[in-house]
Amino acid sequence: MVISNLEGEIASKEGERKRKRKGEVRPSQSKWRLDSEQKTYSSKLLEALRCVRAGAPAEPSRTRAVREAANRALAMAARGQTRWSRAILSSRTLKLTAAKRRRAAASRLKRSGGASQEKKRPPAIQRKARVLGKLVPGCRQLSFPKLLEETSDYIAALEMQVRAMSALSEILSSIGSGSGAPPPA
């Protein structure tokens, strides 16, 4: 009750904080490994794919549309708890991707100009952290520990995405070929 809670708080405040932090990191991995999560994602992906099929029949744009739909479905599955998922969901417009390409080209020009200078100035780890930040959506200007946390969740989510998409394509192909192969678990 109230009194015993107070005692517990004062006694183990540090431990609780550590436990809370660990609790944030751990469930991300176990969450993306759940079969239920994969099934949820697969069904969402199927819906998205149907829309894409109807929408953009041209080959290259269709590929990109499929990939975007898959990423968006993955971000939805994250339930908005991670930065990268929010960045994916909030930044998916054609205008934005064109702007990104322009920005990437500009930065590449700049970098090639400055590549002659010594690269040791920013420590190697910081450089790699920047590269990683560019890879994970929405994590460019993030502190290092936060970036690592986002990366671990992103990697787990990507793994689940690959598993789900490959399983889905097998089912689709088996349907397409018309044989009676047993569906994967």
Partner 1 sequence: MNPSSREMQGMASSAQIALQDLQNGQHHHHHQQIQNPSLHGGHFDHANDGAVGGTGHDDFLDQMLSSLPSGWADLGNSKSPWDLSSGDPNGSSVAGGNKEVNYAPYDESSLLAARLRQHQISGGSSPGVKPLMLQLNNLQQSQQMLLQAMGRSPTGSGPGDSGLLLPLTLGSGGAGEVDVPFKSPNSTGGEGLYNGLGGTIQRAAQAATQQQFHHAQQAQNYGGAPATGVPPPSPAAAASGGAAAPPRQRVRARRGQATDPHSIAERLRRERIAERMKALQELVPNANKTDKASMLDEIIDYVKFLQLQVKVLSMSRLGGAAAVAPLVADVSSEGQGGGTARNGGANGISAAAAAGNDGLTVTEQQVAKLMEEDMGSAMQYLQGKGLCLMPISLASAISSATCHARPPSGARHASNPVDGTPSSPNMSVLTAQSAMANGVGGGVGDGSRTKDAASVSKP
The binding site for partner 1 (CB under 8 A) comprises: 1-4, 6-7, 10-11, 21-22, 25-26, 29, 49, 59, 62-64, 66-67, 70-71, 124-125, 128-129, 131-132, 135-136, 144-145, 148-149, 151-152, 154-156, 158-159, 161-163, 165-174, 176-177, 179-182, 184-185
Single-letter code of the amino acid located at 1: M
For partner 1, give the closer residue by CB, 2 or 54: 2
Question: How many angstroms separate the CA atoms of 42 and 150, rounded?
Answer: 23
CB 69 within 8 A of CB 55: no
Q: How far is the CB of 52 from partner 1 (least distance, A)?
A: 9
Q: How far is the CB of 18 from partner 1 (least distance, A)?
A: 9
Q: How far is the CB of 114 from partner 1 (least distance, A)?
A: 21
CB 28 within 8 A of CB 153: yes
Question: How many angstroms separate the CA atoms of 78 and 73, rounded?
Answer: 9
At 40, give phi and psi (nearest 5°).
-60, -45
Number of residues written out for the chain? 185
Q: How far is the CB of 27 from partner 1 (least distance, A)?
A: 11
